[in-house]
Structure 1
Amino acid sequence: MALRVNIKNIPTTGAGETTSKQLWNSQLMGKPASHALAEDDAGRMKHYRRAILRAAQKTQIDPAVIAAIISRETRGGSYLQPDGWNSQGAAFGIMQVHRMNSPRGGKDSEEHITQACSLLADFIEDMNPSWSPEQRYKGGIAAYNCGPAKVTSTDVDRNTEDGDYANDVVARAQWYKLHGY
C-alpha cells in the first residue's frame, strides 16, 4: 500500500525551462507553467477519469498524481504513437510503463493505469525510510522516471528527465487536486 500524504504539502518548484517550452508563446516557468500544462491537458484527462479513480482506489495512489503523471508523460495521450508506444519504442501507454516491466493492458486501460500505479507505489515504499513522508513520495515520483537507483538524495530531480520531473508532476498534481481529482 502506498504511503499517504497530502499532495498540497509537498514543496515543489514546478516545471523547469525545457518542460516550460511545451507552452508555445509563453514566458511561464515553475509552478505557473506546470499548472498551465495540466490545464491544457484537462480536457483529454476527462476520458481517463473513471480508470484513474479506480486505479487510485486499488493502489492508494492519489488520483491527482496519476493525472499529473499522465499529463507529464504523454500530455494526456496526445504524444503516444497509434500503437501506444513512445517514439523510441521503450515505454507503453499513457503512463509510459517501460518495456522491461512487461506493460499490461491497452494503452489507456484501467489495467495499464493500475500497473503503473503499482510500480509507483513500490518506488514510494522503497525510498529512504529516514526521509519525511513527503520526501519519500516525491522521491518515488522521481524514481518512476529515472529508476530508484538514481534517487539517492532529497535532491530527487538530479537525474530525472530535464531535471524537473518530480517537481513538475507534484505541481501538476496540485492543480489536478484543485480540479476534481
Structure 2
Amino acid sequence: MRVETDGASRETARADYGNDSKGGRSVSRDMAQADADRMKKYRSKINRGLMQVDVNPDGGAHDPEGDWDSEEHLSQATEILVDFIKIIQNKFPNWSREQQLKGGIAAYNVGDGKVKNYKAVDYYTTHGDYSNDVVARAHWYKEKRDY
C-alpha cells in the first residue's frame, strides 16, 4: 500500500475497457471494480499470487508451465517476478523497497534492461503504465476486497 502510483494511462483505459478518460488511479480502481465479480472465483489463487507468464518474444519470452490458472503456472510466474525484483534491487540499491518492488513489476513486463530510472520506470512497459496500473489495482483490491 506504500508503493506510489499514477494509475492507468489513457491507452490502458481505452484498450481494456473502451474508457476514454484521461487515466489515473481512479481509472485503475474503476477497472479493478469492474473485474471484481469475475475475480471472485479466483480469489484463493489470487491471494497466492495469480499472474500471467509473458510469452511474447519482445517481453519475457518464457515458456509457460501448466495451464494459465494452475499452481505450476502460478509458481513459475511468482519465481519470475521475484527474480526481477532481486535484479532491480541489485541494479538500484539506493531505491526504497517500494520503488524496487515497482521496478520489479515493470521489469516483469519488459525485462530489467528497459528499467533505467524510477521516474520513467514504466517508459517501455505496455501503454507506458504497467507497474502504475498494477499497483493502483492492487490498492483497490486491498482496500475494498481485503485481498
Instruction: Say yes or no: TM over 0.5.
Output: yes
The TM-score range, normalised by the shorter chain, is 0.7 to 0.9
What letter corresponds to residue 24 of structure 2 in structure 1?
Answer: G
Indicate how the Cα distance of structure 1 residues 149 and 108 shifts in structure 2: closer, same or farther if over 3 A, else same: same
Q: CA deviation at 1:105?
A: 1.1
Cα RMSD, aligned residues only: 1.8
Give the distance between the partners of 2:111 and 2:9, measured in 1 at CA. 20
Q: Which amino acid is 1:132 matched to?
A: S
CA apart distance, 1:163: 0.6
Tell me the TM-score normalised to structure 2 length: 0.84
Gaps of 5+ in 2: none
Alignment match, 1:175 = 140
Q: Counterparts in 2 of 1:1-181, with a 5 A limit? A: 8-21=1-14, 22-24=16-18, 27=21, 29-53=23-47, 55-56=48-49, 66=50, 95-98=52-55, 100-127=61-88, 128-154=92-118, 155-178=120-143, 179-181=145-147
Displacement of 1:24? 3.6
Name segments (4+ residues, structure 1) moved above 4 Å.
none
Count of paired positions = 137
1:110 positional shift: 1.9
C-alpha separation between the residues in 2 aligned to 1:113 and 1:29? 29
Conservation of the 8 A alpha-carbon contact between 2:10 and 2:21: no
Deviation, 1:37, is 0.7
Unpaired stretches in structure 1, ≥5 consecutive residues: 1-7, 57-65, 71-94
Whole-angstrom CA distance in 1 between matches of 2:19 and 2:70: 33
Structure 1 residues 110, 48: CA separation in 2 closer, same or farther (over 3 Å shift)?
farther
Calculate the TM-score normalised by the size of structure 1.
Answer: 0.69
Report Cα offsets for 1:96-124 as digits up to 9, x if no partner. Answer: 33263221111211221221111111111
Percent identity at matched positions?
Answer: 45
Letter aligned with residue 113 of structure 1 = L
